[in-house]
Chains A and B, each alone.
Chain A
Amino acid sequence: MTASGLSRATSALLLTTCLGASQLVACGGDDGVPERSSEIATESAARRLSNVELDNTLRDLLGDDTKAASRTLVSDQYSPYDNDVALQAPSEALITSLEIMAGDVADRLTADDERMQSILGCTPTGADDTACLRTFVESWVPIALRRPLEDGEADLYLGLQSFATEANPYVDNGFSTAVNLIVRAVLQQPEFLYRIESGTKTNDKGVLALDDWQVASRLSYLLWGTMPDQALREDAAAGRLTTATTRYEVAERMMTDERAKLQMRRFHAMWLGHRILPQPAELVNAFSMETGALIDRVIFDEPQSYYNMLTMPETYLDNDLADHYGLPRPEGGEGWVTYEGPPRAGILSHGSVLASFAKFADTSPTQRGILIRTRLMCDKIDPPPPTLNVDSPPGNAEATCKYDRYAQHREVTSCAACHSEMDPIGFGLENFDMQGRYREHDDGLPECIIDGQGSVPGVGEFSGPKELAETLIESGRLEACIMKNFYQFTIGREIDEVEQPVVDELLEQFRAEGRDMRALMLSFISSDRFALRREFQGTEQVAP
């Protein structure tokens, strides 16, 4: 569905040749080979796998689905994404816990004959079966390290076999001892724990070209949040990932995998702040089903303008959730239901979004305003002045109705200066409570009628999620903010101001693709940028 009618692969190539920020890209050097400007490469640092990525990787590498990293390692910090390289400093607590976790994972593996056999690739004849151990090391370690072994590297691991063969009456050692120790070692290798991108020098100063294996890791951790699978490894081995056109095809294939859907759901949950919701589990699960179905549909199942994520006139429900919202039940007990009644549309009508950013036991017009301004318009909202106690509900506590309690935010000049940028947005959503249900009046107060009128300052007035979505689209700010968040998630750190042209470039491509997110991701992945890097110059940042 590209706007230009060009094939996707062709239009993707344009992104970093001549179509994009043309001032940044020199096309056609003296010798006919395109010159690369350094601006076409993004700075990257060694990113440690987030706990979720590590858990996914242990699942796919060893069949260990115990979520050991999330349970026992130091928690990741969200900024709002869990992959911010600046917040990943190693610590004694982390290294201690990693060593214990690696031991636990290895012990679970070698206590499970079937699972161990599945990764061995041979049947050992005894503790001293070096050939079988070599087979295991040479086949499994490269999978784990996400690159081929170097000459002699396997021998380092084989040295651990001495513990398998040691004559020791006190320990029950054997072939599996060697497997156990090798697994422990690999799981603690920085090359396993981090995605260390080196790259080779190009003609452009400071620009480094990634090899196929490093590109494979970029692909799998971006699209799936986990390690490359066998097909992707075969692509890397065949050199298909450093070429844009084949990389495009590979990414297309990867997007048909269920893990791609889960990854985009996870991205949205972090971005829009509903990765954990303060609601009962059954309701959270229902919200998750609803929002997941919309993301799947708009991005993967029926690729279409991303704007439809916010304007979709129907939603995916089961009977319970339909009853909860007061919407018609779906045919067959689960399915798409067309909105009727109050002005709902798209993801902003979902309980997942409406339940987040609450405060003081109710929806918070201010917090909802912050959500929209910071996450969907990418505005920076200054923190409240220190003299303000934000831990007490606003305004006149004697007023019965919420709108009146917020009068101070509107009428006191010093308050209004900031709150006029946030509260009017939230008040436009006030007819929808913090479980996403429609309400005519404040909870328990029939005399406090909610008029539901709001506005996006400087853009226009609206009432309800449907009109808010239309207003945001009309503002022209939404699409740039979507790109900015996608890019931040992709590179695993905050975007520096000087990198704005890259976001602009993505935006131009997004528009050219009819705002089809899947197409945009494919374009980005098949752009030269995806296989290049520059060394990260940043410093540790303050936690958000």
Chain B
Amino acid sequence: MKKLSRRALLRGIGGAAVALPVLECMLGKHGEKLATANDSGLPQRYALLFAGQALGGDNYDKTSSRIAGENIQEGNHFIAPTAIGQDYEVTTPLVPLQERDLLGDVSVVTNMAIPFNTTNGDGSAVPAGGAYRDFHGGGCSPLLSGTRSTSAGFTCNGPTSDQVIAEMCAGDTVHRHLVMRAQVPFYLTGYDHSGRQYISYEGAGNGGRIEAQTSPRNAYMSLFGNFVPPDDEEAQAVLDFQLRSRRSVLDLVKGSRQKLTQSASRYDKERLERHFDEIRDLEIRLGAEPPVVGGECHKLDDPGPDPSIGADNTGAGSNDITSASTGYSDEHIRARTMCDLMHMAFVCDLTRVSTLQITAFQSHMSALPPSQQQGYEFHADVHELGHNGDVNNRGQKAVSIMLQWHISHYAYLLEKFKNTPEGNGTMLDNCVAVFANEAGHGRQLNDATSENQTHSVENMAMLVGGRAGGLTPGSHIRTNRAHPAQCLTSAMRAVGYTGDALGEVTGILPELFES
């Protein structure tokens, strides 16, 4: 379906920073405006950032920690503030929001829970939108797709929130979505991600998984490789030559499609057809007119080669990591670069949906380098930090410091939104960015008995930033065991989703829209 070229319109006005035409994403298939979209006429964007860690530590309550060898009793480290509403105290994980003056731009949603069957652990006994009683895998599907899990595997049994939005906006932007992951290897010797590396699913099951781009440079090239400075005739000509030649190359490759697929077996044919489909889509993306650079939309500096990929954690085990150079591929820089890319991709309307998996589910990335950045020395991987920590560091504060590192990336992204003028306000007015993490901290999912456990889908929290669709951020909202998918559905509605459910979970959190 050929849509009106937005860029053609822009050209007519000289390519400066101007209000963009009416967002097609906000229109229904017949052009009617969707109920919850705002009237700004600006693109509405949906972002989801994910951390593969829990909110607390095993067998430590929310005020108990061990830091640098000292056992301490201190409040204010668990993410959920005591007070509700706007005047809440800033807890340790939320400090990055405060540092960047974003507390008024984010809602802190706490006390959410995913249902599970406390008396029957069978897959067939899982309630709608519920978790199969085996963490970690059991939490994945209900958290991200609102669809119950029925086995221990890391898979979603329905499309995830970002992909529902991507489908809604399909065809409106050059890139249907921007799916990225900062953590590259699994880092645990002898094992592999095995599904922990996916947070975006366009459909149920493993076939619905969307492979994340893990190379910041490749993401950069893909998004901004065809940007040229305005009014630079030479650069335009060079780019034109490069793009024409690259497309001719792809065209040549596509030429073998029929020959290779017509004689192939069913299995090979499916595989090759998919491969050629992806080449076709790439060619279309390369052929799309580059965005008109102007106003806030500009070509980012080339991030250069990717940081080198680190080896598995070294040490006597996952709680005695000795080297700051293993178990780590500079995820800090990778995540920051990916946030830069996401921000500018939104500014230039290259896509309206993006996910960034900062760390994989059950992340075995070393916590040592991130903790050192914040003045600590956690000789454990992220996963182990939640369970047993290292000899000197564990419990609530240690986990919260790690969560703070994850949230620092979220805050970095939101600040970019906030500092970007758009329409009569800032980009934040036209974005919703959700921060989600893997687990809560409470009753263990597996045994349905033990308290203060990381393997828990209770006491879960999300951050919802931005003002798209009438969101009214700035408060701590303590829910009465709302389902996390209701929080996601609320965020989806903020960018024009008209449904009232995600997967099997119905309803939204109206407090997110109340002043």
Chain A residues with CB under 8 Å of chain B are 45-46, 70-75, 77-79, 88-97, 99-100, 103, 156-157, 159-160, 163, 166, 168-171, 173, 177, 181, 184-185, 188-191, 193-194, 196, 198, 273, 276-281, 356-362, 383, 386-389, 391-393, 434, 535-540, 542-544
Cross-chain contact B271 with A386 (CB below 8 angstroms): no
Contacts of A196 in B (CB 8 A): 260, 264, 268, 272
Is B190 part of the binding interface, using a Cβ–Cβ cutoff of 8 Å? yes
Contacts of B306 in A (CB 8 A): 71-72
Cross-chain contact B211 with A74 (CB below 8 angstroms): yes
- Chain A, Cβ-Cβ closest to B176: A92
Is B44 part of the binding interface, using a Cβ–Cβ cutoff of 8 Å? no
- Chain A, Cβ-Cβ closest to B312: A276
Cross-chain contact A156 with B311 (CB below 8 angstroms): no
Cross-chain contact A280 with B264 (CB below 8 angstroms): no
Cross-chain contact A93 with B268 (CB below 8 angstroms): no
Contacts of B155 in A (CB 8 A): 542
Contacts of A387 in B (CB 8 A): 121, 133, 446-447
Given A188-B279, A276-B312, A278-B313, does the pair A97, B215 have CB atoms closer than 8 Å? yes
Bound-state Cα–Cα, A185 to B266, Å: 26
Contacts of B388 in A (CB 8 A): 360, 391-393
- Nearest CB of chain A from residue B349's CB, rounded to whole Å: 19
Between A and B, 26 residue pairs with Cβ closer than 8 Å are A72-B306, A74-B214, A93-B211, A97-B213, A99-B246, A100-B218, A163-B241, A163-B248, A170-B233, A170-B237, A185-B249, A185-B252, A188-B249, A188-B253, A190-B256, A196-B260, A196-B268, A198-B264, A356-B189, A358-B316, A359-B317, A362-B317, A386-B152, A392-B388, A535-B267, A539-B267
Bound-state Cα–Cα, A278 to B314, Å: 4
Q: Which of B184, B185, B267 interacts with A45 by CB under 8 Å?
A: B267
Query: A-B pairs with CB below 8 Å: how many?
Result: 224
Bound-state Cα–Cα, A518 to B192, Å: 30
Q: Which of B244, B263, B314 interacts with A280 by CB under 8 Å?
A: B314
Contacts of A360 in B (CB 8 A): 317-319, 388
Given A93-B213, A159-B252, A173-B241, does the pair A542, B153 have CB atoms closer than 8 Å? yes
Cross-chain contact A276 with B311 (CB below 8 angstroms): yes
For residues 424 through 465 of chain B, which have their beta carbon under 8 Å from a beta carbon of chain A?
444, 446-447, 450, 453-455
Chain A interface mostly: loop
For residues 172 through 196 of chain B, which have their beta carbon under 8 Å from a beta carbon of chain A?
179, 184-185, 189-190, 192-195
* 6 nearest CB pairs, A to B: A361-B317, A91-B211, A386-B134, A535-B265, A170-B237, A95-B278
- Nearest CB of chain B from residue A174's CB, rounded to whole Å: 13
Contacts of A276 in B (CB 8 A): 189, 311-312
Cross-chain contact A170 with B312 (CB below 8 angstroms): no
Cross-chain contact B218 with A96 (CB below 8 angstroms): yes
Bound-state Cα–Cα, A542 to B154, Å: 10
- Nearest CB of chain A from residue B305's CB, rounded to whole Å: 8
- Nearest CB of chain B from residue A475's CB, rounded to whole Å: 23
Given A276-B311, A542-B153, does the pair A91, B210 have CB atoms closer than 8 Å? yes
Cross-chain contact B215 with A72 (CB below 8 angstroms): yes
Cross-chain contact A96 with B260 (CB below 8 angstroms): no
Cross-chain contact A386 with B252 (CB below 8 angstroms): no
Bound-state Cα–Cα, A383 to B444, Å: 18
Bound-state Cα–Cα, A43 to B213, Å: 32
Cross-chain contact B455 with A389 (CB below 8 angstroms): yes
Is B415 part of the binding interface, using a Cβ–Cβ cutoff of 8 Å? no
Cross-chain contact B217 with A96 (CB below 8 angstroms): no
- Chain B, Cβ-Cβ closest to A197: B268
Is B238 part of the binding interface, using a Cβ–Cβ cutoff of 8 Å? yes
7 A-B pairs besides A386-B446, A387-B121, A391-B388 with CB distance below 8 A are A72-B218, A96-B213, A157-B252, A159-B248, A191-B260, A196-B272, A389-B450
Is B61 part of the binding interface, using a Cβ–Cβ cutoff of 8 Å? no
- Nearest CB of chain A from residue B294's CB, rounded to whole Å: 22
Cross-chain contact A544 with B192 (CB below 8 angstroms): yes
Bound-state Cα–Cα, A18 to B419, Å: 78
Chain B residues with CB under 8 Å of chain A are 58, 121, 132-134, 138, 152-153, 155, 179, 184-185, 189-190, 192-195, 206-207, 210-215, 217-218, 221-222, 233-234, 237-238, 241, 244-246, 248-250, 252-253, 255-256, 260, 263-268, 271-272, 274-276, 278-279, 281-282, 306, 308-309, 311-320, 322-323, 326, 383-384, 387-388, 444, 446-447, 450, 453-455
Cross-chain contact A46 with B268 (CB below 8 angstroms): yes
Cross-chain contact A168 with B213 (CB below 8 angstroms): no
Cross-chain contact A543 with B206 (CB below 8 angstroms): yes
Q: Which of B185, B233, B250, B450 interacts with A99 by CB under 8 Å?
A: B250
Contacts of B193 in A (CB 8 A): 75, 77, 543
- Nearest CB of chain B from residue A116's CB, rounded to whole Å: 17
Contacts of B314 in A (CB 8 A): 278-280
Given A278-B313, A360-B319, A392-B58, does the pair A92, B275 have CB atoms closer than 8 Å? no
Contacts of B255 in A (CB 8 A): 156
Given A96-B213, A190-B256, A276-B189, does the pair A386, B234 have CB atoms closer than 8 Å? no
- Nearest CB of chain A from residue B456's CB, rounded to whole Å: 11
Contacts of B194 in A (CB 8 A): 77, 543-544
Q: Which of B184, B206, B264, B275 interacts with A95 by CB under 8 Å?
A: B275
Cross-chain contact A103 with B215 (CB below 8 angstroms): no
Cross-chain contact B319 with A78 (CB below 8 angstroms): no
- Nearest CB of chain A from residue B327's CB, rounded to whole Å: 8
Contacts of B184 in A (CB 8 A): 75
Bound-state Cα–Cα, A79 to B214, Å: 21
Contacts of B211 in A (CB 8 A): 74, 91-94
Cross-chain contact A75 with B446 (CB below 8 angstroms): no
- Nearest CB of chain A from residue B287's CB, rounded to whole Å: 13
- Chain B, Cβ-Cβ closest to A178: B245
- Nearest CB of chain A from residue B113's CB, rounded to whole Å: 18
Cross-chain contact B320 with A103 (CB below 8 angstroms): no
Cross-chain contact A166 with B207 (CB below 8 angstroms): no
Q: Which of A72, A100, A181, A359 interacts with B249 by CB under 8 Å?
A: A181
Given A77-B194, A96-B218, does the pair A278, B315 have CB atoms closer than 8 Å? yes
Q: Which of B121, B185, B267, B455 interacts with A391 by CB under 8 Å?
A: B455
Contacts of B453 in A (CB 8 A): 389
- Chain A, Cβ-Cβ closest to B240: A170
Contacts of B317 in A (CB 8 A): 278, 358-362
Contacts of B320 in A (CB 8 A): 361
Contacts of A96 in B (CB 8 A): 213, 218, 222, 282
- Chain B, Cβ-Cβ closest to A90: B275
- Nearest CB of chain B from residue A231's CB, rounded to whole Å: 28
Contacts of B222 in A (CB 8 A): 96, 100
- Chain B, Cβ-Cβ closest to A433: B316
Bound-state Cα–Cα, A358 to B121, Å: 30
Contacts of A74 in B (CB 8 A): 211, 214
- Chain A, Cβ-Cβ closest to B263: A198
Given A46-B268, A93-B213, A171-B237, does the pair A78, B121 have CB atoms closer than 8 Å? no
